[in-house]
Amino acid sequence: MAPDDELMRSTETALTSDVRGAVLRRGDDRLPDELAGFQTAHPHRPDVVVGARDADDVVAAVRHAAAHDLPVAVQATGHGHTTGLERGVVVTTGRMRGVSVDPVSRTARVGAGARSADLVGAAAGHGLAPVSGSFPGVGVVGYTLGGGLGLLGREHGWASDHLRAAEVVTADGILRRVGPGDELFAALRGGRPEVGIVTAVEVGLVPLGEVVGGGLFVEAEDAGRLVPVVRRLGDEAPESLGISLGVVPVPDLDVVPAPIRGRTVLHVRLVAPDAAVARAAEDAVREAAPVLLGGLRELPWTESGSIVGEPEVPHAYEGTNVLVTTLSDEALGSVVAAARSASVGCVVDVRRLGGALARPADGPDAVSFRDAGWIVRVLSSTEGESTAAVRAAHAAVLAPVADAGLGRMAAFVYGGSPVSAAELHSPAVRELLARVRAEHDPRGVFGPC
Ligand SMILES: Cc1cc2nc3c(=O)[nH]c(=O)nc-3n(C[C@H](O)[C@H](O)[C@H](O)COP(=O)(O)OP(=O)(O)OC[C@H]3O[C@@H](n4cnc5c(N)ncnc54)[C@H](O)[C@@H]3O)c2cc1C
């Protein structure tokens, strides 16, 4: 037996006695299911996977890895997965999906593996909601640690602004509860510091009943008339309006409604708790261009995933983005035109930021570029496409806004899409993250320092 194999076998044996969840060694035929996530590119190929059932399992996994000098990574849903670990220990959190809501303090305690839909569902019974994003399948912890751009973020700020406390196993294998006053807590509020594994978070909830929201599909040829209206609504509408514009190459499949099947269309997404605000925006869109399909309706927050309506099928994808302070009609129009003419299918998502997203948090945090007024995202399936072609297409789509870019949002950098630390964090946040890494993971267990 090779020395590495021996080491891994003894590690696994020791882990198996300490861990209540699953311990799966390289070659175990249950591994593909355990590691299956939304992103199918660059899968982890570690020596051992610990399917944690609780914080003690996470402590055991991190202590064993640290004792044997093995790198550690964590995977929840795999939505934000970038590069795979080729050795070491991966901790999966899918068994830790507990959510409990305290309606009096308007907070929720959320396990590391809970998805947005779990939290939204638990909060809804109390007339409350998290500042959740567009997709119900995303993990609450990964989303919040990355800042968390919610559909109603312009009114309520970043999801990380609502982080009250976190329980985290740091590289030394110690479970810590951190809150306001801790630098680690500040780093967890939007900096995704990668110095430990969060086992649970406590998040604030906002009162929210029904909203009015939905998406309107418009012919791509009508971009010239629609783009200025979306840009103006974004800049002038009240903060309670969530608004984004998608450019979507819709597949030619029978399950797709005929009016949009097999063509590239524009998709305006609108949502507001105040019906009058949402309906006024819908009227403006309908005046600008004929709507092929869709419209607004009253809906509970538990159905907010229908507003953008992202596909739920796991696949291989790359994506990146640019944050800009302002967006002109010309620049937005050029992004749309570049996406339509790209040689690779490009999904574009342009979201208005500003409002509460631009205001400071109530304490130190790690969200960079709060002054960004818009985020311009692009994403492509990499299945059947060369990486070089996808990256060239993304560069072309983002070219009209690249020079004005403040940086990129890490949560929307997918697959192996190239990005530098300077693009992801402001200098002050980079210094904060470096201090936190030096204190909590000086040996780089969770990644190179
Ligand atoms: C279809 C789709 C829609 C999305 N919509 C939005 C949106 O509206 N707003 C928004 O802000 N983002 C959105 N995202 C991005 C999403 O927030 C990030 O990809 C986020 O990182 C996903 O976290 P996850 O746990 O689901 O994914 P994973 O891939 O499992 O985790 C991603 C990363 O999060 C970190 N992480 C996860 N769990 C832990 C943990 N327990 N401890 C420490 N670190 C952890 C790790 O760095 C990990 O590599 C979307 C992504 C997709 C694919």
For 337-366, write each residue's pLDDT tens digit: 999 999 999 999 999 999 999 999 999 999
Cα(143) to centroid(ligand 1), Å? 5
For residues 51 and 60, give the distance between their C-alpha atoms in angstroms, rounded to a whole number: 11
pLDDT at 5 over 90: no
Does ligand 1 come within 6 angstroms of the Cβ of 71? no
pLDDT at 199 over 70: yes
Of 14 and 46, the one with more pLDDT: 46
* Partners of 245 in the β-ladder: 268, 350
Report the nearest atom of ligand 1 relative to the CA of 38.
53
What percent of the chain is helix, strand and coil (3-state, nearest 5)?
Answer: 35, 25, 40
Q: Are 108 and 99 in contact (CB under 8 A)?
A: yes
The domain 99-207 is classified under which CATH number: 3.40.47.10, 3.30.1360.120, 3.30.465.10, 1.10.260.40? 3.30.465.10
Burial (CB count within 10 angstroms: exposed 0-12, middle 13-18, buried 19+), residue 176 = middle
For residues 353 and 239, give the distance between their C-alpha atoms in angstroms, rounded to a whole number: 9
Instruction: Average the pLDDT over 23-50 and give the result.
Output: 94
Q: What is the pTM of this model?
A: 0.97
pLDDT of residue 49: 97
Does ligand 1 come within 6 angstroms of the Cβ of 124? no
pLDDT of residue 15: 86
pLDDT at 85 over 50: yes
For residues 403 and 301, give the distance between their C-alpha atoms in angstroms, rounded to a whole number: 37
Q: What is the share, in percent, of the chain residues with pLDDT greater than 90? A: 94
Read off the pLDDT band of 13 (50, 70, 90).
confident
Report the nearest atom of ligand 1 relative to the CA of 159.
11
For CATH 3.30.43.10, the residue range(s) in the chain are 3-92
**Helix ranges, 77-147 (H):** 116-124, 140-145
Question: What is the second-level CATH architecture of the domain 211-424?
Answer: 3-Layer(aba) Sandwich (3.40)
pLDDT of residue 14: 75
Cα–Cα distance list, 289 to 225, 249, 276, 294, 416 (Å): 7, 19, 20, 13, 37
pLDDT at 3 over 60: no
Report the nearest atom of ligand 1 relative to the CA of 138.
26
Burial (CB count within 10 angstroms: exposed 0-12, middle 13-18, buried 19+), residue 306 = middle
pLDDT of residue 1: 45
Of 54, 79, 161, 243, the one to substitute when testing ligand 1's pocket (max ligand atoms within 8 A of C-beta) is 79
Does ligand 1 come within 6 angstroms of the Cβ of 192? yes
The tens digit of pLDDT for each residue in 381-429 reads 999 999 999 999 999 999 999 999 999 999 999 998 999 999 999 999 9
Tell the residue nearest (CA) to atom 43 of ligand 1: 197
pLDDT at 2 over 60: no
* Partners of 212 in the β-ladder: 272, 298
Cα(8) to centroid(ligand 1), Å? 29
Instruction: Average the pLDDT over 78-104 and give the result.
Output: 94
For residues 286 and 230, give the distance between their C-alpha atoms in angstroms, rounded to a whole number: 11
Report the nearest atom of ligand 1 relative to the CA of 192.
47
Does ligand 1 come within 6 angstroms of the Cβ of 76? yes
Buried b (16+ CB within 10 A) or exposed e, 420-434: eeebbbbeebbebbe
**C-alpha torsion angle, residues 211, 217, 221, 222 (rounded to 10):** -30
Does ligand 1 come within 6 angstroms of the Cβ of 142? yes
Amino acid at 263: R
pLDDT of residue 8: 65
Question: Strand locations in 184-290, DSSP E?
Answer: 196-204, 206-207, 211-219, 242-249, 264-272
Does ligand 1 come within 6 angstroms of the Cβ of 148? yes
Does ligand 1 come within 6 angstroms of the Cβ of 80? yes
Report the nearest atom of ligand 1 relative to the CA of 409.
11
Read off the pLDDT band of 258 (50, 70, 90).
very high
447 — phi, psi (to 5°)? 140, 160
pLDDT at 448 over 80: no
For residues 364 and 143, give the distance between their C-alpha atoms in angstroms, rounded to a whole number: 18
Give the contacts of 262 (CB within 8 A, at least 6 positions apart): 250, 251, 252, 256
Q: Are 385 and 372 in contact (CB under 8 A)?
A: no
The tens digit of pLDDT for each residue in 259-272 reads 999 999 999 999 99
Averaged pLDDT score across all residues of the chain: 95
Which among 231, 98, 77, 50 is positioned nearest to 146, based on CA atoms?
77
Read off the pLDDT band of 236 (50, 70, 90).
very high
The tens digit of pLDDT for each residue in 167-183 reads 999 999 999 999 999 99
For CATH 3.40.462.20, the residue range(s) in the chain are 211-424
Tell the residue nearest (CA) to atom 17 of ligand 1: 143
Cα(115) to centroid(ligand 1), Å? 10
Q: Are 131 and 206 in contact (CB under 8 A)?
A: yes
Does ligand 1 come within 6 angstroms of the Cβ of 317? no
pLDDT at 449 over 70: no
Cα(435) to centroid(ligand 1), Å? 23
Cα(293) to centroid(ligand 1), Å? 30
Report the nearest atom of ligand 1 relative to the CA of 80.
19
Assigned fold of 3-92: 3.30.43
DSSP 168-208: EEETTS-EEEE-TT-HHHHHHTTS---SEEEEEEEEE-EE-
Instruction: Average the pLDDT over 317-331 and give the result.
Output: 98
For CATH 3.30.465.10, the residue range(s) in the chain are 99-207
